[in-house]
Structure 1
Amino acid sequence: MWLPYKKGFKAYLQLERSLANNSIEAYLNDIEKLTTFLEDQQLAKTPDQVTLADLQKFIKWIAELGMTQSSQARIISGIRTFYKFCLLEDISKKDPSTLLEAPKLVRHLPDTLSFEEIELLISQVDLSTPEGGRNKAILETLYSCGLRVSEVVNLKISQLFLDVGFIRVIGKGNKERLVPIGSDAIKYIGIYREHIRNTIKPKSGEEDILFLNRRGSRLTRVMIFLIIKDLAAKAELKKTISPHTFRHSFATHLVEGGADLRAVQEMLGHESITTTEIYTHLDREYLRKTLENYHPAFTNK
């Protein structure tokens, strides 16, 4: 009964929202769960017949199946997006998901590194090897630009505008953004391209990819993770460190330095300012620790 609606929703996500395939699949899975619930409850309803009460029972149903609060919140977001599509296409005259409440989520602040810890980690790179020269350039780029790991492994030479200090990044949903790049990253990318990458023959289709392995292919996300994990062990850093830690640290250091949140949002490529606002929480924690360490009312206790 819902197959035509699902097909229409998929086309909407592809054409109107320009979402990546993984995101589209996630949204369709959310609607699949809803239709499975309706069948389980023997509710033969079309989208316009579904009520808020039905959706509330559905959320209770998935919670009883063992879905985490974050999974429940994501499914509710998927249902809301589906009903936006239904309103646009006149499939439904009202949106039953408007008053549907998502579970309150506890936001866990990610581990971040201080500038000194970043420097310590990067200093563990062995620059006597070709891989070391490449890894130095990768880490300087990750920290300088706050890139996602997928963005750094797919970075192309044609996206570098180093003479003016910018790179063009293709982020989530194929959205483009221009990000400033620091002088250290520019320096080590230059050294890597001139002395290391020039000696590697790229595989077919990889000619424009900046960071290559010895076989001429782009690096995997897992490879970047392993490189960082190895360096963190050598630096004896006890924190949970991943490529994303560099991105978190980039944003945290900007906010702590007084950067405008909208500018940080733009550089990170966040669609919503709400996602960027986590760094204001990090900043508050930093301020609290500063008070505890230096304010007489705290230090004299």
Structure 2
Amino acid sequence: MSIQPYLKGFNDYLRLERSLAANSIEAYLGDVQKLCQYYESIGRDLLLKEIQLDDLRAFITWLNDLGAQATTQARVISGIKAFFGYLMQEEILDEDPAVLLEAPKLSRKLPDTLNIHEINKMIDCIDASKPEGMRSKVIVEILYGCGLRVSELTSLRISNIFPQTEFIKVLGKGDKERLVPIGSTALKLLEIYINECRVHLNIKKGNEDFVFLNRSGSSLSRISVFKLLKSLAVAANIRKNISPHTLRHSFATHLIEGGADLRAVQEMLGHASITTTEIYTHLDRDYLKTVITQFHPRS
């Protein structure tokens, strides 16, 4: 039983039953194709009913020998498990060889964050008297004030802004929609940008509802946001590797350090699992030292 005839069914399963986005489906299919490449490299036919756990472990060892990082190996294992899970669900296989396949242990690196002083320094470097400057100021305020991913920011639509209730609707990973509160400062700046700056652009057809536009009247690209934040970090003399995700990290970290409920932060970030949100429960070392000094009887 060869693997190729079942890839289309796996594609349909991921798209229809699991409702995954196109790039996620492509990644899963690519993981299965890597397994095919492994079998080609060792000169064996990939026969589904003959695959054993040891074969899959040998495949992961092969990936490791090729230099695949632990995160890449973990993602490939996730794709392989999903594929064999699909085959079991369709009763194509009697046993799942991937059920005991373990992913490598991943270290949980604490993300870089900015403190409020650094964020204010970046905002102070913006000349908001110019239309592009006002747009830049709004971008920073929304990334930090709402914790959006860069793709959620660039795809934000005017029709999804609800000023009366101070919420915006964003389209997250897997095309999942969620409502996110927007603070009064960010909302006021957003309304100024839309009503006083954006209206003067010659907007290209099909881009009328996008909030953030470039000079040509098309929706703003992700790379433009990255470049903006890099330039603001340089202007503010901040020597950290800044990206849109840095502001998202800062949003979550500051909320949790301030005592926000973890479930509420999970909802605002659009995390499918609370485990992903838990990474933000770190506190900086200086704060921990202060707590010990102030409250421990032996300090």
Fold shared, TM-score > 0.5 on shorter chain: yes
C-alpha distance in structure 2 between counterparts of 1:147 and 1:265, whole Å: 12
How much is the aligned-residue C-alpha RMSD, in angstroms?
1.7
C-alpha distance in structure 1 between counterparts of 2:293 and 2:121, whole Å: 32
Contact 1:47 1:91 in 2 (8 A): no
Per the TM alignment, residue 226 of structure 1 is displaced from its structure 2 partner at its CA by 1.0
Q: Give 2:102's aligned amino acid.
A: E
Per the TM alignment, residue 42 of structure 1 is displaced from its structure 2 partner at its CA by 4.0
Q: Give 1:159's aligned amino acid.
A: N
The 5 A counterparts of 1:247-266 are 247-266=248-267
Q: How many residues get paired?
A: 296
In the alignment, structure 2 segments of 5+ residues that lack a partner are: none
* 1:291 to 2:288 alignment: yes
The 5 A counterparts of 1:1-301 are 1-280=2-281, 282-283=282-283, 286=284, 288-293=285-290, 295-296=292-293
Per the TM alignment, residue 46 of structure 1 is displaced from its structure 2 partner at its CA by 3.1
SS in 2 for 1:295: helix
C-alpha distance in structure 2 between counterparts of 1:199 and 1:2, whole Å: 56
Q: Give 1:266's aligned amino acid.
A: E
Q: Give 1:256's aligned amino acid.
A: E
SS in 2 for 1:196: helix
Post-superposition CA distance 1:73-93 (Å, at most 9, x none)? 111111111122112111122
Per the TM alignment, residue 294 of structure 1 is displaced from its structure 2 partner at its CA by 5.6
Per the TM alignment, residue 127 of structure 1 is displaced from its structure 2 partner at its CA by 1.1
SS in 2 for 1:96: coil
C-alpha distance in structure 1 between counterparts of 2:277 and 2:292, whole Å: 29
Contact 2:149 2:248 in 1 (8 A): yes
SS in 1 for 2:268: helix
In the alignment, structure 1 segments of 5+ residues that lack a partner are: none
C-alpha distance in structure 2 between counterparts of 1:7 and 1:194, whole Å: 48
TM-score w.r.t. the length of structure 1 is 0.93
Q: Give 1:204's aligned amino acid.
A: K
C-alpha distance in structure 2 between counterparts of 1:92 and 1:273, whole Å: 33
Runs of 4+ in 1 over 4 A off after TM superposition: none
C-alpha distance in structure 1 between counterparts of 2:95 and 2:175, whole Å: 32
